[in-house]
Amino acid sequence: MTTIPETTVLDYEDEPAPDETTQPTNTTEPQEYISETTLLEETDSSPTTLPETVIEIPADEPVTDEQLEQILDTLTEAAPEQIVAAITQVLAADITSDQATEIASSPEVLAAITETQAEQLFEQIVVEELTEKQEHCDAVAKWLTSIDLGITPEGVHWSYETISTRYQKPTGTTVELPPTASELVEQLKHVKMELKAYTEMEDRLKAELCEMIGSNEYATVNGTVIATWKGRTWSSLDIKAIKAMEPAITEKYSKKVTNRTLLLKGERA
């Protein structure tokens, strides 16, 4: 008799069919997408450092030509962002028009700086040049005004020869001077005494040296020329003889010249 094995039937609980209208629930938040460009920007957001050899210049302080030359030499091999950072520091300081021109003449700087920095350099050059021209025009106008008014322009110091030509015709009158004129007289007396002493000393030293040279023209010491005493010959009119021989001609071609001599109290003409 054949025995049929019993078949084991597993009991499965009926699972409800999924509702297609129900949206799946995901408790894990999706990660934000970050592009490669954003990563690069975040990586490059660190402050740009200047080249080690670039000196730091405090803001609003003058930049010397030596400092500027050192900076420009260093920037020839610097990265563009380092050049921009260095020029930013320079523009924040006090630079002259010539220095701005020198910066703008650097090919490395022009290739790297921003448009704003280029405009700042140009403005620095133009503004200072215009200021200098205006100051020059103002000074000339002030000087001409003083001349028209017959007064000495500020900062002008006339020579005695120039003053003599300005006041050639004495009027024979007297003028009262301020007390400071007495100080000028005392200073002038002192200088004239000093000049007299030095003139006498000069004459004595020249006489002693020329006595040693004698009729020679060149004087040497150890083969090196230390002085020359040469003769010069020229022709001149003998006015005294002409006046005696041709008094009419002499009178015709003679002209009167007024020469004023300044004498201090106690001096003789």
Q: What is the pLDDT of residue 82?
A: 84
Confidence bin at 128 (pLDDT 50/70/90) = low
Q: What is the pLDDT of residue 197?
A: 96
CA distance 204 to 187: 26
Token pair of 207, please?
């006489």
Comparing CA positions, the residue from 210, 204, 202 lying closest to residue 227 is 210
CA distance 258 to 172: 14
Tell me the percentage of the chain whose pLDDT exceeds 70: 76
Tell me how crowded residue 18 is: count the other CB atoms within 10 A of its CB. Answer: 8
Over residues 169-193, the mean pLDDT reads 93
CA distance 53 to 81: 15
What's the alpha-carbon Rg for the chain, to the nearest Å? 48
Query: pTM higher than 0.85 for the full model?
Result: no
Confidence bin at 46 (pLDDT 50/70/90) = very low
